[in-house]
Amino acid sequence: MPIIAPSLLSANFLKLGEESQMLNESAAEWFHLDVMDGSFVPNISFGLPVIAAIRKATNKICDVHLMIEQPDRYTEDFRKAGADILTVHIEACRHLHRNVQQIKALGMKAGVALNPHTPVEMLYDVLGDIDLVCLMSVNPGFGGQQFIPGTLDKIRTLRKRIDENKLDVLIEIDGGVTLENAPEIVKAGADVLVAGNTVFRSSDPKATISLLKGF
Ligand code: DX5
Ligand code: ZN
């Protein structure tokens, strides 16, 4: 069964307390928190104070996805805000190996995200050092976009590599996950499904999370 990580980017920001409570009562294991800087991606979302507030509202895993340039500048700040998993983009890091070590040294799990144009092979030399690969299945920056079908092949390639080398790395899929495509994504080898619009635009978000969990 996949881990479900609802993305708060699609939540009602005026009701973050209630939305967090709903997720606390749901089958979702993780909160996916998307941080955007208006430079790495063409959008600005929320930052440290919001994450610190959400941290107080949940005991679930806070999975922080940094879509920011040079994320190494803020590793410690995100730890203090309460991140359990810190994911940086390979395209935003000049010294990825060092960033990964920095994240782990602070006691967080280290994730690396790949944009749709980045081949999974780019990660092979650090795959043994990280805890999670976040494969972007849309171009990052906005919720509610269409899943890019080519992601399925990337999942299969990565799954094979991880299994053959007996690595302890989770594959997370981020962007355009729906009740229709989730079964295929899980079958291809995904461990974690991020879902923004599918959960928060649903008339019954908790039931939708349970359905996703069942795939
Ligand atoms: C996109 C973000 C995603 C986004 C997913 O840049 O990284 O986490 O919130 O939203 P949906 O599931 O609506 O595509
Ligand atoms: Zn994300």
pLDDT in tens, 10-34: 999 999 999 999 999 999 999 999 9
pLDDT digits 0-9 by tens, 171-212:
999 999 999 999 999 999 999 999 999 999 999 999 999 999
pTM, full prediction: 0.98
Residues with CB under 6 A from ligand 1: 7, 9-10, 32, 34, 65, 138, 140-141, 143-145, 174-177, 194-198
Indicate which atom in ligand 1 lies nearest the CA of residue 136. 7
**Crossing angle of helices 48-57/16-24, nearest 10°?**
50
**AA letter at 128:** G
For the CA of 142, the nearest ligand: 1
pLDDT digits 0-9 by tens, 25-64:
999 999 999 999 999 999 999 999 999 999 999 999 999 9
Place of tokens 């080898």: 189
What structural domains and CATH numbers belong to the chain? 3-213 (3.20.20.70)
Place of tokens 């879509």: 67
Phi first, then psi, for residue 16 (nearest 5°) are -60, -30
Site to substitute for ligand 1 among 10, 146, 181, 199, most atoms within 8 A of C-beta: 10
What pLDDT, on a 0 to 100 scale, did the predictor assign at position 194? 99
What pLDDT, on a 0 to 100 scale, did the predictor assign at position 74? 98
